[in-house]
Structure 1
Amino acid sequence: MSHGHSHTHTHGHGHSHEDGHDHSYVNTPLKALAIAATVTGVIFFAELIGGLVSGSLALLSDAMHMLSDAAGLIIALLAAVVGNKAASSKATYGYRRVEVLAALFNAVAVTLVVVFIVVQAVRRLGSDYEIDTGMMLVVALIGLVANAISAWALSSQQ
């Protein structure tokens, strides 16, 4: 409901906290990254356990995918925090370069996950491997819901 005036509240009053550090980098997008990283990390463990118990390479593959997503989100979170540091005599352009290095690290991690998945899939070719599809479906649905929650948390900050 619009009343013709803004209801925004900011904390741009420039005081320092008891610990002497500026905590202005702890903004809503960073909180969304933290939420998504936490949800993704929990689902990684659920899919890893579900994949090992059920024998599902699909769940193990998705667990590895969730691990790379969680790592990517954590790296993005850390890079955003470091990247928000102001320029100094040692870093005259600031710390934004950390975000590029974080993206490179994440790309290498995803590549390693893909290699793992391909190796496991090739090893199973032609073998008679039993899979508990009921457990696999339940864990996969939980993963789908978690991905939806993470996507919502991240997209609501744009």
Structure 2
Amino acid sequence: MAHSHHHHNHHSHDLKGRNLLISIILNVVITVAQVIGGIISGSLALLSDALHNLSDVISLVISYVANALSRKQASTNKTFGYKRAEIIAAFVNSATLIIVAVFLIIEAIERFFSPQDIGTGIVIALSVLGILANGFSVLLLKSDSDKNMNMRSAYLHLLTDMMASVAVLAGGILMYYFQWYWIDPLLTLVIALYLIYMGLQLLRTSTKVLMLFTPDTIEVQQIVAAICKLGPIENVHHVHIWQLNEDELHMEAHIDFKEDIALSEFDKILVEIEAMVFSEFGINHINIQPEFEKCDSKNLIVQD
């Protein structure tokens, strides 16, 4: 077995945890204010924004816990530790985005058939509060959102909520000047459809990781062909490639050799394989089983 490791930056984890905690506090404040304001004003769009903010609070708490768990060390009965906690958090958060969106669509359709007068002053004031608070949270999480699926799920929750607040603000201004109260459920519908679009993308990505699917960027046949060019290799078969988390891409395979080589020679070839699959394909953990004239199928590149 051969491994090539990349160590986590604990300072980065601490920073992510702090930023998440600040975002949680801000979203709790926004949610309470918008629920009260939505009830007083009668604005469904404001209440939908509050509901989305509530889902933000839940998703951020999940992300915060997952971020903390991911730092726990592996043990004999948890040999991978909690490295997949953040992937599970991303899956749960993306699913909640879709569930909240479906609820909002139902409420918006009902409001289309029974429009109500809305207290636009409260709507405008609270939407501005939502834009400022969520905008600050988005800036806090942006730097980590491109590197970590869990942080990206939290970032998307906050970004979509900031955009929803912008839409609510625009709707509040239009209702104030023109009394276009139908704009309230229309905005709610647009926000909900966007939530579904963003949620499905993240749900698809996190599901692939949890199901141990080979990443889309990896072509197994290309890796097999590249390995076969190194040393006296006859065949590469029984290949499995999967993503453990954001940082670790694993591969295991059986390699059939043309000659009964010495273990020391195999070690040299193994170093070449490690360097090649890391530099060309980003695979940083490999487990190779060497074989010579072993009686098993050599034609199955992939097999359960």
Partner amino acid for 2:55? S
How far off its partner does 1:126 sit?
2.4
SS at match of 1:131: coil
Partner amino acid for 1:56? S
- In structure 1, the gaps of 5 or more residues are 1-22
RMSD across aligned C-alpha pairs, in angstroms?
Answer: 2.1
Which entry has the higher C-alpha Rg, 1 or 2? Answer: 2
Aligned to 2:37: 50
| Aligned match for 1:79, one of 43, 48, 66 | 66
The 2-side partners of 1:72 and 1:56 are apart by 24
The 1-side partners of 2:80 and 2:143 are apart by 30
How far off its partner does 1:36 sit?
0.7
Partner amino acid for 1:67? L
| Aligned match for 1:106, one of 63, 88, 93 | 93
CA contact 2:34–2:47 (8 Å) conserved in 1 = yes
CA contact 1:25–1:84 (8 Å) conserved in 2 = no
- Cα deviations across residues 94-146 of structure 1 (Å, max 9, x unaligned)? 10121122112112211221111111111111223110011100010011111
Runs of 4 or more consecutive aligned structure 1 residues displaced over 6 Å after TM superposition: 23-26
CA contact 2:13–2:67 (8 Å) conserved in 1 = no
The 2-side partners of 1:155 and 1:100 are apart by 18
Aligned to 2:104: 117
The 2-side partners of 1:128 and 1:79 are apart by 42
The 1-side partners of 2:134 and 2:77 are apart by 39
The 1-side partners of 2:49 and 2:136 are apart by 17
How far off its partner does 1:148 sit?
1.6
Aligned to 1:16: none
| Aligned match for 2:132, one of 134, 142, 145 | 145
Q: Mean alpha-carbon deviation: is it higher for 23-32 or for 66-75?
A: 23-32
CA contact 1:82–1:95 (8 Å) conserved in 2 = yes
SS at match of 1:120: helix
**Once the two structures are aligned, what percentage of the paired residues are identical?**
38
TM-score between the two structures when normalised by the length of structure 2: 0.42
- Cα deviations across residues 37-68 of structure 1 (Å, max 9, x unaligned)? 11012101111111111111111111111112
Q: Does 1:94 align with 2:81?
A: yes
SS at match of 1:125: helix
The 1-side partners of 2:115 and 2:92 are apart by 37
Instruction: Identify if the C-alpha distance between structure 1 residues 43 and 151 changes in structure 2 by more than 3 Å, giving closer, same or farther.
Output: same
Partner amino acid for 2:46? L
The 1-side partners of 2:12 and 2:71 are apart by 7
The 2-side partners of 1:126 and 1:62 are apart by 20
Report which of the two has the higher share of strand: 2
Instruction: Tell me: higher relative CO, structure 1 or 2? Use CA pairs within 8 A at least 6 residues apart.
Output: 1
The 2-side partners of 1:94 and 1:61 are apart by 38
Instruction: Identify if the C-alpha distance between structure 1 residues 93 and 77 changes in structure 2 by more than 3 Å, giving closer, same or farther.
Output: same
Give the length in aligned residue pairs: 136
TM-score between the two structures when normalised by the length of structure 1: 0.78
- In structure 2, the gaps of 5 or more residues are 1-9, 146-304
